[in-house]
Amino acid sequence: MVLNPAFMRYVHDMWLEKKGYYPSTGFLALGLALHMCDEVSVFGYGADSDGNWSHYWEKLMNKKLKTGAHPGDTEYRMIQKLDEQQKLKFYTGF
């Protein structure tokens, strides 16, 4: 366990409004970065241009991939909101 479960709960409750079962690893890393770093940039996060979610390192085989236990839409909207508030820089790639 790298992160304290209390931090994971904090991100789920406060940042994601208890949506989904738990935050994705990427969103937890983003939350940690925002607490530790002076500047945060986000690359390659979210769905592709067709709305399919995947990991950046793998070829997407299932074109109907959902975010499972993670609240992907909520996470994405929060990143957009943080970008609008200039808390981070979000590079969408398209």
Domain layout of the chain by residue ranges: 5-91
Q: Determine whether 78 is exposed, middle or buried from the number of CB atoms within 10 Å of its CB (0-12, 13-18, 19+).
A: buried
CA neighbours closer than 13 Å in the CB half-sphere of residue 55: 5
List pLDDT tens digits, range 14-45. Answer: 999 999 888 888 899 999 999 999 999 998 77
Residues 73 and 6: their CA atoms lie apart, in Å, by 23
Active site positions, annotated: 22, 70
Name the pTM for this structure.
Answer: 0.78
Tokens of 27: 């969103």
What single letter denotes the amino acid at residue 88? L
Out of 15-29, 57-71, 79-93, which region has the weakest mean confidence (pLDDT)? 57-71
Tokens of 92: 């969408």
Residues 24 and 29: their CA atoms lie apart, in Å, by 9
Given the structure tokens 């994971």, which residue do they identify? 8
